[in-house]
Amino acid sequence: MASSFRGYGFFLKSISPFFIFLILVLSPVRGDELPSLDQLLVKAKENKLSENRYWLILLHYQSTLTGHKSLIDDPQFFLASDGKKNPEGELAATLKAFFNSSEKGDNHPRCRFPARYEWLKSVLNWEESLFSNISCDEFRKYELTLQPKSAVLVFPAFFMNNPASMFGHTLLRIDNASQSKLLSFSANYAAFPDSFGILYPIKGVFGYYKGFFSIFPYYDTVKMYNDTEQRDMWEYHLNFSEAELQKMIWHLWELKNIYSYYYFFDENCSYNLLYLFEAARPSLHLTDRSWFWTIPTDTLRAIQAEGVVENAEFRPAKGTKIRYIASQLNETGEDSALKIVEQKLDPSQLQAKDHDEKKKILDLAVEEIQYQYNKHQMEKDIYLKLFLSTLNGRSKLGNSGSDPYQIPVPMPPETGHRSSRISLGGGIRKNSFFEEISYRPAYHTLVDPEEGFARGLQIVFADTTVRAYNDGRIKLESFDLIDIVSLSPRDRFFKPLSYKIKTGFTQQMTPSGDDRRVYRLNPGVGMAFENRQIGLVYGLAEISLNLSEEFRDRYALGGGLQIGVIKQIADSWKMTFSLEKIAYPVRNVFQENRATAIQTFKLNQNNSLNLSLLWDEAFNHDQTEVKINWNIYF
C-alpha cells in the first residue's frame, strides 16, 4: 500500500508543472490581477473603442462636419461635461465612473448604464465579481418584469385629429412567455407638449417639445390607439433573438427619464426607435442612413429591407368595427342600436326583421357602449348596467363564431407612395405657356394616390414650386411651409371636426391683373361626410391673412368658405374638386374666388400623373390655368 502511495505521489510530482501551467492559462483573471484603470483607459484608446460603431449607437452619436454630436439632449445621459460632442471623453468618463464612483445601489453607473457596462466589459475583459458589491435591485426587477422572448413593431395608423399623429406612429411591443399578447409591454417614444392649438404643429416642426421613452402594458396601448383614437394597428413580427432582445432592453433602461427634443419630421417616434434595433443588432444600418425626413412608413420599409420583419398582422380599431357592422344594417337598424346605447330601448324589447339582424344590432350596440365608456362619455355604473343587459340579450341569440365580421383588410401602410416627391409639369396660364418643377420633402396631399393612406389626409412641409414662362419670366410660384388638412368624415356614430392650416408664399392676383407673391396664413374648420356614390364631401369655414407690399397697410384680412369632393373613381383614378370664396372686408375690399379640378392617375407605387384645371378671379380679373404634372415619389 505504501509503495502504491509513493507511486501516486511520484506521479503527482511529475505532472504538477503541467497542471500548474494549465491553471495559469485557463483560469479567469482574478480581480486583483486585472489591469489598473489607467491601463484600461490606455487599452480603450489604443483599440479606438470610442470610434467603434456600437459605442456610437449607444450614445446616439451622429457624424457632423466637426466630429460627432449626440441626438440626446438631456445632460443626465452623459458622464463627461462635453460628452454630447466627445465620444472619446465620454467613454473615458464612463470607465472612470464604473470603477471610481461612490454611488451605491441603483444610482451606481453600472446600474444606470447596463448596455455600456456589458459592452465595455466584453471588449476590455474584466471580471463581474469586481462589482459584486453593487446591487442593482430596480434594474433586476425591470429585467424580471420584461423577460423578453420576441418583439413586434407596431404601427398605429394615421390619426386625423392630431397633426403630430397624421403620419402614423411606431412603437415596440416586447412579448414575454405569456400566451396573451395584451399582457406584453410597449416601448414608446413620444413628445410631451406643453400647449395645443394653432401653435402645436408649428412648435412640433421646430423641436420645441421634449420626447421621452416610456414602457407600459400593451393592453393600455390597444385601449388608447385601437379603442379610443379609432386607429387601426399593424403588427410586424421581428426576428430578434432573445440575446439581442436582452441588449435592447438594457439600452431602453439607459434611456429611462432621458429626453431629446422631438421634431415631427426627423427626430420623431420612428427615428428614435431605430436606436433600439441597432443596440440589439449592431449589424443593422438604420440610423446612419441619409434621413433628411423620417416618416413612420419610411422606417417600416427600411426595417423590412434589412430583413428584420417576418410577417404582419392587422388589428382593426373599434371605430373600424363599429362602422363595418353599421354598414351591414339599414337606417332603422342603426337607430335601434343607438336607442339601446341612449337607454331609450331595452335590449330585451328589441324588434328586428330576422334573427341575424337582431344579432348585428346588439353587436353594434355593445361595441358603441364600450367605445363611449373608453372615451369617458359614459359613467361607470351606467356602463356596467347597460353593457351587461345588452350582452345578456345578445347571448340568448347564440354564438356566431370566433369572428362573425370579416372586416376587409386594407393595404398596409408601406404599400403607399414614398414620402418625398419631385414633380415635373407644364401648362398654360393667361395665354402664356410655362414649365415648372416642384420639390416636396414630405409627405402626402389630397390629390396623391390613396393606397396605403387615409382618405382626406394631407400633411405637407416645404413644398416648393418654381415656374418658368415662355416670355422669360422665372418665379417662385409657391412655397408651402406647412399645409395640413384633415377631412375626417362624420356619421351617426362619430362626429369629428375637420380642419386645415396652411402657411407659406403663394401668388395673389392684384388690381392690375398681375400675379404678385404674398405670404398667406390660412386656417379653417368644418365638417366632412362620406357618401358611397359621391365620395368624400367637405365644407370648411376659413380665415385668410395675406401679407404684401401690394396691400394697403401691407396686409389683407378676410374669411370665407371652401367646399369640395374627393372621389376614387377606380383603383388608379381619383378626382378632386373644390370651390373657394374669400371676402376681404378689412382695409382692402375685394373678393377672391377659385375653382379647382384635378384628376390623378396612378402609374405605379411611386409614379403618378395629375391633370389640373384652375380658375381664379379677383379685382374683376379672372384667369384660367391648365397643366399636367408627372409626380415621382422617392
Average pLDDT of every residue of the chain: 90
In 3D space, the residue among 126, 104, 112 whose CA is nearest the CA of residue 44 turns out to be: 126
pLDDT of residue 166: 75
Residue 23 pLDDT > 90:
no
Residue 201 pLDDT > 70:
no
In angstroms, the CA 460 to CA 449 distance is: 15
Domains of the chain listed by start with CATH number: 34-135 (no CATH), 146-315 (no CATH), 318-395 (no CATH), 416-633 (2.40.160.40)
In angstroms, the CA 571 to CA 272 distance is: 35
Where are any strands of DSSP class E within 296-382?
Answer: 309-315
| Strand 457-469 to 259-262 pairing | unpaired
From residue 402, alpha-carbon distances to 133, 285, 406 in Å are 54, 42, 10
| Strand 555-570 to 442-444 pairing | unpaired
pLDDT of residue 344: 96
Query: Which one has a higher pLDDT value, 220 or 198?
Result: 220
pLDDT of residue 25: 38
Q: How many CB atoms lie within 10 A of CB 179?
A: 5
Share of the chain above pLDDT 70, in %: 91
In angstroms, the CA 133 to CA 226 distance is: 46
Grid-cell match 479567469, residue found: 28
Residue 149 pLDDT > 60:
yes
Q: Give per-residue pLDDT as tens, 57-103.
A: 999 999 999 999 999 999 999 999 999 999 999 999 999 999 999 89
Q: How many CB atoms lie within 10 A of CB 381?
A: 8
The alpha carbon of residue 64 and the mean position of all alpha carbons in its chain are separated, in whole angstroms, by: 26
pLDDT of residue 33: 54
The pTM of the full predicted model, rounded to 2 decimals, is: 0.85
In 3D space, the residue among 524, 527, 625 whose CA is nearest the CA of residue 582 turns out to be: 524
**Torsion angle of C-alpha atoms 25, 29, 32, 36, degrees rounded to 10:** 110
Q: HSE (CB half, 13 Å, CA atoms) of 378?
A: 18
Residue 509 pLDDT > 50:
yes
**What is the DSSP secondary-structure string of 42-55?**
HHHHHTTGGGSHHH
Terminal Cα distance for the chain, rounded: 88
In angstroms, the CA 632 to CA 605 distance is: 10
Residue 594 pLDDT > 80:
yes
Q: Give per-residue pLDDT as tens, 568-592.
A: 999 999 999 999 999 999 878 899 9
The alpha carbon of residue 267 and the mean position of all alpha carbons in its chain are separated, in whole angstroms, by: 11
Do the beta carbons of residue 248 and residue 185 sit within 8 Å? no
